[in-house]
């Protein structure tokens, strides 16, 4: 999700008011160099699997899962981690994280089917507007699925479906964290929790066992900590019987990866973003910008402190988390090949941005690395895709000595909200190659 999209969704200018500093050239060069030094690994994947190509590094994925679990396990006594499938719905990603001991968080019947097919035994089913057939699928696998109820109407529908199946369904209720903007689409207001508890008690086929909330686009833990304090106050206002059923509190996801967000200058708070930016919105000599994020260990420390302060005095519960972007962002990259050089400052590649599902590179900055002619020098050039639209932009510069037809380009850290958002538009979608330090490149699903 881009900065602009998130602001529209949340209905608040707070996101755009964050200070944006220049991305240090030393940091950027070191990032690029880390991939240049491994160029032969990526070129071998290109030789074996063709181009364009999604490259999934499973060792990176597993390392991120371990780091996340350790960070929260060090500060809380009982933690369950669920991978948010919507952030990258490649089945191989889910399968690898299941192997690491994570559960899965799904947001639709289709994702639930994929999770079950992957062998998941601990699934949370969130998201608004669940249909009866989706609820029936969850009920049919009640030993493996917990439904996170999104509304009073959904509670009634789940009761009806579970009753019709002659069984009971384990569930939680989602709480909205913003009762004023479009974010209120998700969950019920915190003020409605006592009424929801009373309604759930009337349902003989729904076992309410927990609470969930989600704050998005968290560069730091402030939003999560703030809502935990609100939730603690709400629980304190209930009597012991009203809160005795709470076995888990799910703080969901929204953790931003360590890389932070890199932007073109025109897309910073002081800029003037335009989706028809010709000439390019930034020149490589002008530098790029960065919104920094907080290390996951600091997220865990402050969230753990908030849980101990505000929740544990009221309830004894497991704390759940649903990271998506934080886990998969750094584990998948995109390989492209230059198929036409139209001018010294313009090349066309064999992939279109339908591979990432939108015009993210007109807003977000990622270095394009010429693996065929590598150098730690950034040169201005329109690097465009092969779709029949002017918005098919990969970037406005590349790292390399030169760029020519046949050169192989790498766009690193494209694992989050790209593969899931890809579109069947004009051009075929890339295949997936798996990279492992033990196995080398292999074909993925």
Q: Vertex 98, ends 97 and 104: CA angle to 5°?
A: 90
Question: Mean pLDDT across the stretch 102-107?
Answer: 98
| pLDDT for 2 beyond 60 | no
Residues whose CB falls within 8 Å of the CB of residue 312, separated by 6 or more in sequence, listed in order:
none
**Cα 343 to Cα 112: distance, rounded to the nearest angstrom:** 48
CB 91 within 8 Å of CB 97: no
Query: Which of 265, 272, 258 has the alpha carbon at shortest distance from 289?
Result: 265
Task: Look up the CATH superfamily of 330-443.
Answer: Lyase, Ornithine Decarboxylase; Chain A, domain 1 (2.40.37.10)
- Which pLDDT does position 271 carry in this prediction? 52
Whether 405 shows a pLDDT value over 70: the answer reads yes
Tell me which fold the domain 3-33+58-327 belongs to. TIM Barrel (3.20.20)
8-state DSSP, 396: E
At 216-255, the pLDDT tens digits run: 899 999 999 999 999 999 999 999 989 999 999 999 999 9
Give the mean model confidence (pLDDT) for residues 164-169: 98
Percent of the chain surpassing pLDDT 70: 89
pLDDT digit string, tens, across residues 321-362 = 999 999 999 999 999 999 999 999 999 999 999 999 988 998
Angle among Cα 289, 26, 255 to the nearest 5 degrees reads 50
Residue 11's pLDDT is what? 38
| Structural domain spans, the chain | 3-33+58-327, 330-443
Structure-derived torsion over alpha carbons of residues 41, 42, 43, 47, reported in degrees to the nearest 10: 100
């Amino acid at each position: 999700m881009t900065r602009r999209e998130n602001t529209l969704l949340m209905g608040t200018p707070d996101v755009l008011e964050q200070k944006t500093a220049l991305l240090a050239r030393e940091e950027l060069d070191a990032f690029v160099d880390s991939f240049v030094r491994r160029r032969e690994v990526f070129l071998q994947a290109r030789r074996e699997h063709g181009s364009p190509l999604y490259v999934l590094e499973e060792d990176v994925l597993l390392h991120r899962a371990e780091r996340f679990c350790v960070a929260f396990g060090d500060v809380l006594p009982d933690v369950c981690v669920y991978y948010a499938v919507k952030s990258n719905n490649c089945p191989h990603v889910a399968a690898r994280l299941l192997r690491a001991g994570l559960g899965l968080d799904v947001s639709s019947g289709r994702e639930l089917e994929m999770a079950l097919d992957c062998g998941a035994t601990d699934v949370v089913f969130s998201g608004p507007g669940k249909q009866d057939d989706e609820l029936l699928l969850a009920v049919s696998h009640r030993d493996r699925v917990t439904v996170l109820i999104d509304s009073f109407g959904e509670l009634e529908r789940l009761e009806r479906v579970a009753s019709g199946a002659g069984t009971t369904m384990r569930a939680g209720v989602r709480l909205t964290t913003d009762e004023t903007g479009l974010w209120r689409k998700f969950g019920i207001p915190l003020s409605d929790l006592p009424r929801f508890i009373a309604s759930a008690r009337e349902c003989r086929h729904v076992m309410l066992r927990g609470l969930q909330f989600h704050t998005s686009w968290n560069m730091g833990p402030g939003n999560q900590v703030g809502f935990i304090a609100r939730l603690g106050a709400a629980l304190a206002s209930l009597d012991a019987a009203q809160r005795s059923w709470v076995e888990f509190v799910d703080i969901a996801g929204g953790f931003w990866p360590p890389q932070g967000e890199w932007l073109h200058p025109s897309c910073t708070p002081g800029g003037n973003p335009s989706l028809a930016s010709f000439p390019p919105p930034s020149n490589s000599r002008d530098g790029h910008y960065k919104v920094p994020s907080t290390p996951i260990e600091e997220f865990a420390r402050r969230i753990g402190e908030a849980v101990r302060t505000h929740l544990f005095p009221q309830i004894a519960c497991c704390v759940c988390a649903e990271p998506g972007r934080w886990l998969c962002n750094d584990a998948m990259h995109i390989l492209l090949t230059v198929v036409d050089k139209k001018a010294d400052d313009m090349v066309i590649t064999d992939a279109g941005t339908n591979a990432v599902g939108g015009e993210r590179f007109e807003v977000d900055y990622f270095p394009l690395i010429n693996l065929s002619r590598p150098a730690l020098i950034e040169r201005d050039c329109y690097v465009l895709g092969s779709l029949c639209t002017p918005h098919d932009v990969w970037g406005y510069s590349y790292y390399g000595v030169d760029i020519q037809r046949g050169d192989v380009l790498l766009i690193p850290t494209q694992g989050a909200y790209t593969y899931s958002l890809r579109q069947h538009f004009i051009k075929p979608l890339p295949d997936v190659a798996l990279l492992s330090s033990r196995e080398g490149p292999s074909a993925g699903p």
